Structure 1
């Protein structure tokens, strides 16, 4: 009598593994760049990189009073727009392009902050966290 259980349904697809590995490499790149900026440009650059590494998850505080009424893993619907805005990679990437193109944006602590923000988003994607539905659950 064999009681074999199939683990194939629990294994992530090869595409998912490659995607998450790419996000992790991206996260490590932006983290290293943030550290480099902090070393080269001082405590303010390092502080802003750390603040922006944590800042996107502070959007949970927008609806902290609703948290007890939410299902497990659900974000309060009124916090979702803030959460999603802070977790879209295109936002800091667009600001990074602006930083590179406009000479009056050339302030190293701002660049370090953008590196921290991109590192946060990349770590989230690497570990399976993405944008939320309007009801507050993780997408796909």
Structure 2
């Protein structure tokens, strides 16, 4: 793969980040609407909004440069910051396999990931650095 494919030009990156921002706003709005309609306590909304960053707690370590995550936390961090998890949880909630409150959880989890991507935070490399 060429270096150009790995690092898209700046205008494309800006457009992609803006699109993620729009997606984050839409998903967050849908999550709040789902929470209000489900009548649940809202713990799913809070837990899934903050939950993906639990991997950061395992990733702190001495002697790491700023912004770098300890390699032991990278697999968990990357797993929690892929869209497959929130898509699966949302599908399970929509089909009734899990309670309706988890619909809000899946949507806000997706909003968290989209917001991170809009701010330039993506998946991590094996050594804990941000992928560009």
Same fold (TM over 0.5): yes
| TM-score w.r.t. length of structure 1 | 0.81
Q: Specify every segment of 5 or more residues in structure 1 that has no aligned partner in the other structure, as ranges.
A: 1-11
Deviations 1:79-134 (A, max 9, x none): 0000000000122113323443x4433x2111111011001000000000000000
Aligned residues: 124
Runs (4+) of structure 1 moved beyond 4 Å?
Answer: none
After superposition, the Cα gap between the structure-2 partners of 1:92 and 1:37, relative to the gap in structure 1 and judged at 3 Å, is same
After superposition, the Cα gap between the structure-2 partners of 1:63 and 1:15, relative to the gap in structure 1 and judged at 3 Å, is closer
Which residue in the other structure is 1:110 paired with? 102
Q: 1:48-87 alignment to 2 at 5 Å?
A: 48-64=44-60, 67-87=61-81
Residue 43 of structure 1 deviates from its aligned partner by 4.4
Distance (whole Å) between structure 1 residues aligned to residue 107 and residue 85 of structure 2:
12
Which structure has the larger Rg over C-alpha atoms?
1
Matched, 1:139 2:131: yes
Which residue in the other structure is 2:17 paired with? 20
Distance (whole Å) between structure 1 residues aligned to residue 72 and residue 91 of structure 2:
30
Which residue in the other structure is 1:7 paired with? none
Q: Specify every segment of 5 or more residues in structure 2 that has no aligned partner in the other structure, as ranges.
A: 1-8
